[in-house]
Structure 1
Amino acid sequence: MDSQKPISYANLTINGQIFTVTKATIKESLEEIFFAECEGYCESMESPLVQSLNSTLLNDPDGYKFLDKQAVLKIKKIALQNASDKSSVSLPGSQDTDESVYSGIISEVSYMGTSNAGGHKSSISQKYFFKFVLSSPLFRLSINSANRIFTDQTVIDVIKEILKFYRTSLIKEVDFSNIKNSYGPREYISQYNESDLNFLQRICFNNGIYFYEDDKKIYFYDTVTISGLKPASQDGAVSNAPSGFREVNFNPNINNALKQECISAINKTEILNANNFSYSSQNTMYPTVLDTVNSKQNEKTKYNAHFHLGQYSFTQQESLNIPTELKRRRSILNLNTYIADSNVFGLKLNSGVSLSYDPSALKNDTKFDFIIIALVQNFVDETNLENRLDTSDIVPISGKSFSTSYSNQIIMLPSSTVYVPNFKTKPRSPEVTLGVVIGNNGIDDEKNTIHTDEHGRVKVRINAFSSQETVDNCFNPNGINTTNTKDYSHSAYLRVMTPIASSDSGFFAIPRIGDEVVVSFLEGDIDKPMVSASLYNAYNPQLPNLPSDYHQTTLSSKTIGVNEGGRNEFTFSNLKDKEHIYLKAQKDYGELIQHDFTQTILNDKSSKVLGTYTERIQEAHVQTIDLAKNVNVGAEYLTTVGLSKDTVVGLSNTVNVGVDNKIRVGQDSSEYVGNDKNIEIKGNLDTIIYQNENRTVKEDKKDVIEGSYEMSSSKGINKYTQEHIVL
């Protein structure tokens, strides 16, 4: 009768304690972090479950003996041999493939009980059975959820910054030496309601970057150089395939009598899907210009998937080539993915295998090269139970079967197919969130000032991302990490929405530092925020005094400056029968009317000028006053008329001069009085006529002189009368 004997074993070391592993399922993928589900036991004099219970009762914060502890799983190659068949062979393996080592942390523990039910036992120690989940140390990134904004950083810089938070807990070196493309700075990258791991995977996968690990390092790779990315060096990568390939036989014989290491089955599923991809977008600076990019087409590209990538930044246009090309290559990958069943030990993720067929089965080339992109390993070694069972165990040896086996399932690509990780969907942004406009310094130090760029954009502290740096600093392990001075709620420059925006017209206003604003997201994209509105609050109150001035509608603009109180204002008061419009200019006020100006005032008009009033009319000035006009001049009144001046007074005309009155006429002067004229001079009357004086009195003339009368002539005096003369 044939029998199998174990020549290898597996163990799990946690916090210095060694567990014998009886079963293990290890899952690795280029798109997910690895984890291993293990079943096993340890031999101890004290129950681990009791230890855990005591720690809980004592409120011991470090009472978790296994959870979140560093652990190492080692599995040695199981070489099985038919003991009765001397011709059977055990294929030798290299030193690298004789043992697989997996280093990580324990993310789940299940206490399964003990092998002894009662007090009768022949040994002071007992076997305690457990189930463990050994996870990549990157699992710690999946627990912490965060909201962060990264500005003007490359994707690689952001990846390194996230990993920096875990530099004492990753327990592995991070290797970026396989990054071949050069990634330019991105204006805005945000992490929103995502774990650090999900965020890391998203920004990596959506840029053609992927990562995996072994027991010592975490490796980052990127897809071969594509349009839109520059190679980091002149000899940029031409393939992401490994340089060496391990030769593996294909043996579809399910019996495998020789216990040969081989691939026993290969399967492939093909699903009809889009094989051509196109992206469109508009140019932000010139939105009438539309851009479209199509992936490389050939006679097989019959089905197209079209996407729109909304551009919203003035200073950075997102590449359409990168997502288009990555999705095209992913569609090729989906049609060239093979699933293989195998018992080959020591296969590694992202390594190559060269598949050999029986030469007699094929006439042509019998080797095919593949790249392993996912690997599921199943390990069973229950023979350890057979060798270590106590006589007092619950399950007697009689009738109990024990098995030892190793198998795996491989997901692989032909080496000519480029691996591209699957795109990750961005988290859905909030419909709107609130924020505060910021500058270069503190908000209080720059309140009511403007910090902007040449496009009128502003920076905002977005509340949905606030306080993240404080949380990050609180969890610096043992204070080893340098305090994080970044503020992950501060945005890059954001566009400001306005009610009207036309060419050289519309409504334009830049929010000021300290203003509370509403932030919306273009097309629900968390990486495309914009300022859509502003809000009043106690820190920035509205102009009308509420509730008394509830009826006012105002448009006002405050003088720029931290301690300034002046403002320009346009206020509408809307109380019934007290409607009122108020306009205030803090300093100067100007009007430009390029054609006619018509003004109708149905009641009174009052105008008060505290300084000088200057008015110039280049053509005629016509003024009609239906009733009275009253002009009061407190000092001098000067009127200058370049040509003639006509004054028409319908009734009386009175001129009151308080002191002197002087009339100067350059040439002739005429005066016509239709009726009587009275002149009263309380002082002297001096008249000088440089030439002749002619005076005609149509009727009588009477001179009354109450004093003396003197007449002097340089020549003669002649008086004529047609009648008599009395002296």
Structure 2
Amino acid sequence: MPRTTDSNTSLSLTASSLSALYPESLSGEEALNALSSQTLNGLNDGATLTLTTAVATHLTTTLHNDALTRPMDALVAEIRQLPADATAERYQLVLKPWLWWLTLASNNRVFQNLSTSDIVTTIFKAHGFTDFLLKLSGTYTPREYCVQYGETDFAFVSRLLEEEGIFWFFTHEDGKHTLVLGDSNDAFVPIPNGPKVSYLGQQLGERELHGIRSGQVCVQAVAGVYQATDYEFTTPTTSLYSQAEAVAGPRSMYEHPGSYNAKARGDALTKQRVDGLRSQEKRFVGESDCRWLVPGHWFTLTGHDDSTLNIDWVVTAVTHEASHDSYRNRFEAIPKATPFRPARTTPKPRMHTQTAIVVGKSGEEIWTDEYGRIKLQFPWDRDGKNDEASSCWVRVVLPWSGKGFGMQFVPRIGQEVIVTFIDGDPDRPLVTGCVYNGDNALPYALPANQTQSGIKTQSSKGGGGFNELRFEDKKDAEEVFLQAQKDLKINVLNDTTATIGHDETLTVQNTRTRTVKEGDETVTLEKGKRSVTIQTGSDNLDVKDSRTVTVGADQTHSTGGNYTHKVTGDYSLTVDGNLTIKVTGTLTLQSGGSFTIKSGADLAAEASTSISQKAGTSLSNQAGTSLENKAGTTMTNDAGISLTNKAAASQTVDGGGMLTIKGGLVQVN
């Protein structure tokens, strides 16, 4: 590529699109974990430059010290014309590293199960940048859920690197600058052209005697202890407290949340935070004309009167002032022996309440895990596919929860939910409720049913049914409605009391079974009638012990068919008044043993046609005073062996027409 230079200059440049530009001056600054910015003033005494094609192209400015050089590569971020003079056109260029281009893009998106290095390199490649080098010695646990929200890509990358304690800087060559990511001081490299830099003081020296012209040590107070803790809901009683000491001293920094969910992770982060405090404790600041001082590079100081300063130092920041014939800088450095961790200066977005749609696996209506967590699709997430991979598992707030007790309602796929964020952290979403929308209508149409409230579920999978508990609060039409789509099971471990102020109607479509396992059952009808109607079928009553029926007034029993009453023991019938048995057919009284009919007064047996008394052995009719057998026409007393009619006083046998006494032997005495 063409180069404009002079052997006596301190500054030259290489720029394919700006080859005719002559550099006049360069100023700017570089620092660890900071975007450099250089301002280059130049002139052109030839053809007019094409500005539009120069933006975003590489431009390498080179600092010279005779044969030794130090390239500073960047991309042209801005170019402007300055007022021209009589001899040339003048231009001012703003130069930025390729990482600065990430400040021009912002996004809202979700990364899942990726380590920090995987996330940042994915973003670099998405922008088309591959000039980066990972010099990481630590192990980085994948982030289960990491959200970029309203941040530029650069701010997001910077924040993640700061959280992990990863620093970055650039190395330069002609036409290229490479981003180096490191997590230990081993990632730092020596300055160009050898690590030794002399301390020259204010003595005037030749150009080749480039070195540090002045330098002072700066020591500042830092906290002595760093403490942090956090909370992991899967192990709620486990302490995640971690502590590390930076220097001796009573001051401590305490942070919650510590942004970790495991003790080992907390200990590692706490150690990193302490290293960050130590990085601030001691600095070496000064001015020099050494062109080789580059952030992220280390040098060995020599020649200082204070021998304790003649050690290895890591450059953390440099401010350049260069022209075509001079160069000076101001710099800061820390001891190379001190572990460096970047300060966490990039703020994490604080998210407020949002809404999201519940998502899950295709073909499912409910998608949850053992903790009742769900997956979400946020409206701002352009990369999510509305499936089980759209988010991490998100916990759901319920009005009541405990150890094996509480409320349980799992939001279902397609529902819109309210999402808040613990401590405003985008990486810690929490579902706090559900809302209706244009697709998900309320179960009771409004405002027509504005007095109704309740709970209505939906059968899954496939819908078509529901369980419901509904309250109607309309004046004079109040109602509590309960529907079980299939079974209703009630388990009462002690008493149940129900008071019904008016009517009760129970309709059972199929079988009804009621079992009282132990104790009594009492049914009291204080006033009114009780009616049991079996329209089709039979009525069976099985009492294993005794049964008592008491009727205070009349009792009527009507049987449309046969009536059978079977008693395996004794049967006693007591009637305080009269007993009438009326049989339109035949009445048979049969006893396997004795049969006694006893009347306290008269006993009359009357038949319209005949009465027959017959005994297999003997038949006795006996009266204390008189016994009369009388027939209107004929009366026959017949015994197979003997027949005795006996009266203690007198007996009359009278035949109005004829009296016949017949026997094999008749004895009248």
TM-score exceeds 0.5: yes
SS at 1:540's partner residue?
Answer: coil
1:339 alignment partner AA: V
**2:398 aligned partner:** 498
Is 1:517 the counterpart of 2:423? The answer is: no
Task: Identify the residue that residue 416 of structure 1 maps to in structure 2.
Answer: 337
Matched residue, 2:291: 345
Give the Cα separation in 2 of the matches to 1:716 and 1:328: 124
Cα offset for 1:656? Answer: 0.6
Q: Distance in 1 between matches of 2:622 and 2:239?
A: 110
Is contact 2:25–2:323 with CA below 8 Å preserved after alignment? Answer: yes
SS in 2 for 1:114: coil
2:149 pairs with 188, 192, 205, which one?
Answer: 192
CA distance in 1 between partners of 2:422 and 2:600 (Å): 99
If asked which structure has higher relative contact order (CA below 8 Å, sep 6+), I would say 1
Aligned counterpart, 1:328: 274
Q: Distance in 2 between matches of 1:615 and 1:724?
A: 60
Instruction: Give me the whole-angstrom Cα distance separating, in 2, the residues matched to 1:432 and 1:700.
Output: 100
Give identity over the alignment, percent: 20
Q: 1:65 aligns with which of 53, 59, 80?
A: 53
Q: 2-side partners of 1:646 and 1:573: how far apart?
A: 45
2:500 corresponds in structure 1 to 601
Take 2:406 and 2:621, find their aligned partners in 1: how far apart are those partners? 89
Distance in 2, matches of 1:560 and 1:257, equals: 87
Which of 430, 440, 443 pairs up with 2:351? 430
Residues 523 and 306 from structure 1, CA distance in 2 versus in 1: closer, same or farther, beyond 3 angstroms?
same
Q: Identify which of 187, 191, 201 aligns with 1:252.
A: 201
Match of residue 102 from structure 2:
141
Q: 1:106 aligns with which of 76, 84, 106?
A: 76
2:608 equivalent in structure 1: 706
Aligned partner of residue 185 in structure 1, secondary structure: coil
Looking at structure 2, the residues matched to 494 and 318 of structure 1 have their Cα atoms a distance apart, in angstroms, of 24
- 1:450 pairs with 355, 366, 373, which one? 366
- Matched with 1:378 is 321
Q: Structure 1 residues 311, 454: CA separation in 2 closer, same or farther (over 3 Å shift)?
A: farther
For 1:567 and 1:370, the matched residues in 2 are separated by 73
Alpha-carbon distance in 1 for matches of 2:585, 2:236: 87
Question: Per-residue CA shift, 1:467-511, capped at 9, x if unaligned?
Answer: 257xxxxxxxxxxxxxxx899992211111111122222212221
Separation of aligned partners in 2, 1:462 and 1:594: 46
1:13 to 9, 12, 15: 15
Alignment match, 2:635: none
- The CA distance in 1 between the partners of 2:263 and 2:426, in whole Å, is 16
More displaced 10-residue stretch of structure 1: 690-699 or 595-604: 690-699
Bigger mean CA offset, 599-608 vs 192-201: 599-608
Amino acid at match of 2:189: P
Larger Rg: 2
User: In the TM superposition, what are the counterparts of 1:173-184 in structure 2 within 5 Å?
Assistant: 173-176=131-134, 178-184=135-141
For residue 65 of structure 1, what is the amino acid of its counterpart? T
Aligned match of 1:32: 34
Gaps of 5+ in 1: 53-63, 80-92, 117-125, 225-237, 382-403, 470-484
Inter-partner Cα distance in structure 2 for 1:318 and 1:580: 58
Among 218, 228, 245, the alignment partner of 2:178 is 218
Matched position secondary structure for 1:379: strand
What is the match of residue 613 of structure 1?
512
Contact 2:354 2:419 in 1 (8 A): yes
Equivalent residue for 1:566? 465
Q: Which amino acid aligns with 2:534?
A: V
Instruction: Map 1:591-670 to 2 at 5 A.
Output: 591-617=490-516, 618-627=518-527, 628-634=529-535, 635-670=537-572
What TM-score results when the alignment is normalised by the length of structure 2? 0.85
Q: Given the two structures, how large is their TM-score scaled by the length of structure 1?
A: 0.79
Match of 1:341, SS state, is strand
Taking structure 1 as reference, are residues 42 and 487 closer, same or farther at Cα in structure 2, changes over 3 Å only? farther
Judge conservation of contact 1:310–1:523 (CA < 8 Å) in 2.
no
Change (3 A) 1:18 1:276: farther
Spell out, residue by residue over 1:539-591, the C-alpha distance to the aligned partner (whole angstroms, 9 max, x if none): 22221122211111112322222x31211111111112222111111111111
Instruction: Kindly indicate whether the alpha-carbon contact (under 8 Å) linking 2:23 and 2:41 is maintained by their aligned counterparts in 1.
Output: yes
Question: Mean alpha-carbon deviation: is it higher for 27-36 or for 150-159?
Answer: 27-36
Question: After superposition, what is the alpha-carbon deviation per residue over 1:49-89, rounded to whole angstroms, capped at 9, x for unaligned?
Answer: xx77xxxxxxxxxxx3333x31222324154xxxxxxxxxx
Deviation at 1:724, TM superposition (A): 5.2
Cα 1:134–1:684 change in 2 (3 A) is same
Q: Deviations over 1:525-547 (max 9, x none)?
A: 22211111111123222211222
Shift in alpha-carbon separation, 1:468–1:574, aligned structure 2, 3 A: same
| 1:16 shift after superposition | 5.8
Contact 1:71 1:103 in 2 (8 A): yes
- C-alpha contact (below 8 Å) 1:494/1:530 kept by paired residues: yes
1:430 deviation in Å?
2.3
C-alpha distance in 2 between matches for 1:141 and 1:646: 94
What displacement does 1:342 show? 0.9
Aligned equivalents of 1:682, 1:18: Cα separation in 2? 138
Q: How many aligned positions are there? A: 616
| 1:134-178 Cα shifts (integer Å, max 9, x gaps) | 1111111111011121111111111121112112xx2x52222x1
The 3 A distance-change label for structure 1 pair 704 and 70 is same
Amino acid at match of 1:462: F
Q: CA 1:191 to 1:690, structure 2 compared with 1: closer, same or farther past 3 Å? A: same
Distance 1:311 1:705, change over 3 A: farther
Distance 1:513 1:503, change over 3 A: same
Decide whether aligned partners of structure 1 residues 717 and 195 sit closer, same or farther in structure 2, where only a CA change above 3 A counts. closer
Of residues 626, 630, 636, the one that matches 1:726 is 630
1:418 offset after TM fit, Å?
Answer: 1.7
Contact 1:311 1:317 in 2 (8 A): no
CA contact under 8 A between 2:359 and 2:386: conserved in structure 1?
A: no
- The Cα shift of 1:272 comes to 2.9
Name the structure 2 match of 1:308.
Answer: 256
Q: Which runs of 5+ in 2 are unaligned?
A: 1-5, 632-669
Residue 204 (1) aligns with residue 153 (2): no
Instruction: From the superposition, tell whether residues 486 and 597 of structure 1 become closer, same or farther in structure 2 (CA, over 3 Å).
Output: closer
Distance (whole Å) between structure 1 residues aligned to residue 308 and residue 603 of structure 2: 151
How has the CA–CA distance of structure 1 residues 421 and 194 changed in structure 2, closer, same or farther, with 3 Å as cutoff? Answer: same
In structure 1, C-alpha distance between the alignment counterparts of 2:83 and 2:464, rounded to whole Å: 76
Deviates more, 1:676-685 or 1:152-161: 676-685
* Offset, 1:723: 5.7
1:126-165 residue pairs with structure 2 within 5 A? 127-165=88-126
Give the distance between the partners of 2:630 and 2:315, measured in 1 at CA. Answer: 153
Q: Structure 1 44/693 Cα, relative in aligned 2: closer, same or farther at 3 Å? A: same
Aligned to 1:55: none
Of 250-259 and 349-358, deviating more is 250-259
Separation in structure 1 between the aligned mates of residue 339 and residue 118 of structure 2, nearest angstrom: 25
1:100-133 deviation digits (Å, cap 9, x = unpaired): 33333221121114334xxxxxxxxx73211111
- Is the CA contact (8 Å cut-off) linking 1:207 and 1:322 kept in structure 2? no
Q: How many Å separate the matches in 2 of 1:112 and 1:104?
A: 21
